[in-house]
Structure 1
Amino acid sequence: MLHTPRLIMRPWRDSDAPSLYRYASDDRVGPIAGWPVHDSPAYSLEVIQTVFARPEVYAVARKEDDMAIGMAGLLIGQDSNFEIADDEAEVAYWIGVPYWGQGLIPEAVGELMRHGFEDLRMRALWCGYFADNLQSAKAQAKCGFRHHHTEENKFNPFLNDYRTEHISRIGKEEWQALRG
């Protein structure tokens, strides 16, 4: 488990399915991040048991009640959606609409970055956002990620469409310099 001032990042549990469904059934969340709207609590449970059942993929939960309100994770090496080295990871995240604009994702991603660089000894972290996801672009910039390249007409198998994706990166040395 990872902790921040307001959040706990912990493994997903089957009992999180109703909460996941509550936030992932909002059509403002999944499609902008590249995945389908959840259509039932059963589908949310299936996602927990398959997609989220990976090492380093965490439920982002509120400290006061341990309720899952989003996801943050590290997709290491071959698990990434990008072609990266085994000592690099992709940072993936999302949060429910009621929690947008509160700085919770930069808080969670900041702790995930610390974990990735210090505990897992990653050399670099990567992050992507689709062209119309300005909230994600802002969150990445707040965390110190810098634009690396853009991929146009990239196929997204989750929604069976093509998108423009902006890919950002931060190396361990850059991260250390930002921390002072």
Structure 2
Amino acid sequence: MSQTLTTERLVLRAWQLTDSEDLYLYAKDPRVGPIAGWPVHQNMEESAEIIKNVFQQDHVFAIELKETKQVVGCIGLLIGENSNFDLSDQEGELAYWIGVPHWGKGFIPEAIHEVMRYAFQDIHLTQLWCGYFDGNIQSKIAQEKCGFRYDHSTDLQYIELVDEHRIEHLSHIDQATWQVQFATQT
């Protein structure tokens, strides 16, 4: 399982089935999942199944607030063939979301910075990719704050989980660029 990472305000740790209540609290909000390409959770049992079948894997972290010990979001790396993109085994896709009450508080950039450090220093990836669907301005801004730069946009594609066609915008950062821009700050 993934190791535990910490930042000033956050603990990034492995998901536990006991987190299903916290997950459901945020994942039932229609402003969270659909903009990220996944459906609203219908009940706590569904949230538990998502934890068990999707989130409990290496390099996927529950975002826990140090102050309250509440799980408020998710961040993870999908490496190589586990990614939604065509990546080598030395590249990873960074994916994340956070519950609405915590939007605009800087938690996602804080978590992204630590997962980038983990990706480049601890597991030695060479490049990270991020995507956001057309209209998800918050995600675009978070990626830009963390040094990701626009690379390309996809053609209109079918997103099965939400039964919609969308354009996705991809950005990336490589290890050398991260080293120059951010490594001295950690």
TM-score (norm 1): 0.98
1:29 aligns with 2:32: yes
2:156 to 153, 157, 160: 153
Equivalent AA in structure 2 for residue 145 of structure 1: F
1:72 aligns with 2:68: no
Separation in 2, partners of 1:71, 1:175: 22
- 1:17 maps to which residue? 20
- 1:106 maps to which residue? 109
1:121 aligns with 2:124: yes
Give unpaired runs (5+ residues) of structure 1: none
Deviations 1:78-107 (A, max 9, x none): 110000110000000000000000000000
1:54 aligns with 2:46: no
1:130 to 133, 140, 144: 133
Shift of 1:159: 1.1
Separation in 2, partners of 1:154, 1:117: 30
SS of 2:54's partner is coil
Shift of 1:160: 2.1
- 1:88 maps to which residue? 91
SS of 1:50's partner is helix
Deviations 1:30-72 (A, max 9, x none): 0001100001000000000001011000000000232110000
Equivalent AA in structure 2 for residue 72 of structure 1: I
Shift of 1:158: 1.2
Separation in 2, partners of 1:131, 1:14: 32
Shift of 1:118: 0.2
Judge conservation of contact 2:156–2:167 (CA < 8 Å) in 1: yes
Separation in 1, partners of 2:116, 2:157: 26
SS of 1:43's partner is helix
Shift of 1:168: 0.3
Judge conservation of contact 2:16–2:56 (CA < 8 Å) in 1: no
TM-score (norm 2): 0.95
Shift of 1:165: 0.3
Separation in 2, partners of 1:66, 1:57: 18
Deviations 1:82-137 (A, max 9, x none): 00110000000000000000000000000000000000000000000001100000
Give unpaired runs (5+ residues) of structure 2: none
Equivalent AA in structure 2 for residue 173 of structure 1: A
Cα RMSD, aligned residues only? 0.7
Identity of aligned residues (%): 48
